C-alpha cells in the first residue's frame, strides 16, 4: 500500500462521511419545516408528526429542494408567502446543520 493509496482511501472516506451528514441535515431540515408548517396549519401531536413526515418524504420526488418548497407552498397557501417559506428553509437548514454537527 502506497501513501497515495492511503490518501485516496482517506478522501473517499471523508467524501462518504460528508455526503451522509448532508443527507441527514437535509432530512432534519425537512422535518423541522414540517413541524413549523404543521403549527401554521393548526396541527398538533401525532397529526403534526405525521404531517412533518410527509414533508420529509416529499423531498424524494425530484432532485433539489423545489419539491419540498412546492408542497409547503401548496399546503400553506394563504398562511405563508414564498419569501417566508424560502427564508424558513434557509433558517432551518442552518439549524439542522448545527444539530447534526452537535450530535456527531
State yes or no: pLDDT of 20 exceeds 80.
Answer: yes
- Domain range spanning residue 40? 3-103
At 33, which CATH number? 1.10.790.20
Task: Return the pLDDT at 53.
Answer: 96
3-23: average pLDDT: 78
Q: Under DSSP, is residue 76 helix (H, G, I), strand (E, B) or coil? A: coil
Tally of structural domains, the chain: 1
State yes or no: pLDDT of 87 exceeds 90.
Answer: yes
pLDDT, tens digit (0-9, with 9 covering 90-100), for 24-61: 999 999 999 999 999 999 999 999 999 999 999 999 88
State yes or no: pLDDT of 86 exceeds 80.
Answer: yes
pTM recorded for the entire structure: 0.84
Q: What is the DSSP letter of 80?
A: S
The candidate with the shortest Cα–Cα distance to 41, out of 73, 67, 76, is 76
- Kindly indicate the confidence band of residue 19, based on its pLDDT and cuts at 50, 70 and 90: confident
Cα radius of gyration rounded to whole Å, the chain: 17
Amino acid at each position: 500500500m502506497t501513501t497515495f493509496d492511503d490518501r485516496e482511501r482517506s478522501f473517499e472516506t471523508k467524501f462518504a462521511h460528508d455526503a451522509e451528514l448532508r443527507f441527514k441535515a437535509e432530512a432534519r431540515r425537512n422535518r423541522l419545516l414540517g413541524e413549523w408548517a404543521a403549527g401554521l396549519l393548526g396541527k398538533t401531536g401525532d397529526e403534526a408528526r405525521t404531517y412533518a413526515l410527509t414533508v420529509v418524504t416529499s423531498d424524494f420526488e425530484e432532485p433539489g429542494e423545489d419539491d419540498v418548497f412546492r408542497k409547503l407552498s401548496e399546503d400553506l397557501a394563504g398562511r405563508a408567502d414564498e419569501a417566508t417559506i424560502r427564508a424558513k428553509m434557509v433558517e432551518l437548514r442552518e439549524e439542522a446543520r448545527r444539530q447534526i454537527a452537535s450530535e456527531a
